[in-house]
Structure 1
């Protein structure tokens, strides 16, 4: 029981750290996107020069790619946390205290809500301000489609299948009974996440 409680504490700490990191990333993304979009629109409206418009198109392309990659990373984090929660609840739910399970579930729900809100805000800002005012619909659509396809393929091939397969193995054979086993599984998922980040950027 003491060993399982130690594993539970480790999981709670990991979830809390992930939530904090996601919140920080979300705030930075929203602030950067909004500020840069406003600056770009002001430049175009005030100067109205062809050179500025070309620079803006390039800038929009970079911003869209960065936003897509960051959103993909946040979604990957949510998937990994959700799988960890499933493993914890299924494998050790009979021993884990209810308060710990509630904390983990609430943390996952908060992360999912944050992801949804950020995606909606970013999409609205990019579509309304950038696409409508700067008339670069084709460029933005092409970049978004290509990047999304690449990210989806990489996520499915590199991280989703191996992590889910290993999670199912953990649940079926109940081998995740020590702190070392759980941390090894988390390290595997982290390495997959690092591969996705490198390939996406």
Structure 2
């Protein structure tokens, strides 16, 4: 009878130890997978955000350079026009009123060109900023969704694995105890 009790105790202890080891291994593996997935997602999001910011910066620089070139070209053209008009007017001995009118027209044209270029630059900058903000927001949302999904899947997998392991261990323990009891009842030499 004492040997019978010892065998049951040993079987139960072994099964419990195996269960604990299996659960610890499963939890460690799941935690490692979660960490790897989160790191990969964060790296991808950082790369996307940096790329978007770089593209926005390039577009901004191109627009500013274009605007400066346009302004310089317009100013040069208008100055040449003014010089030609002044020479023509001087040669033709025009009155001061004609010169004033020509200068006013040239100044108005230059102001209009500068205003148009500034408006274009402001619109492009606003569009670039909006695009960058949208990209960042979408990236953050994607990270949050992926992390939540991964955590939910991991929790479900851990729960399922633990339940399965517990059920298997309980069934094995019950079968072992039943076999031991049957052997003990039938004949002690069976032990």
TM-score range, shorter chain: 0.3 to 0.5
TM-score by length of 2: 0.38
- Bigger RCO of structures 1 and 2 (CA < 8 A, at least 6 apart): 2
TM-score by length of 1: 0.36
Which is greater in Rg? 2
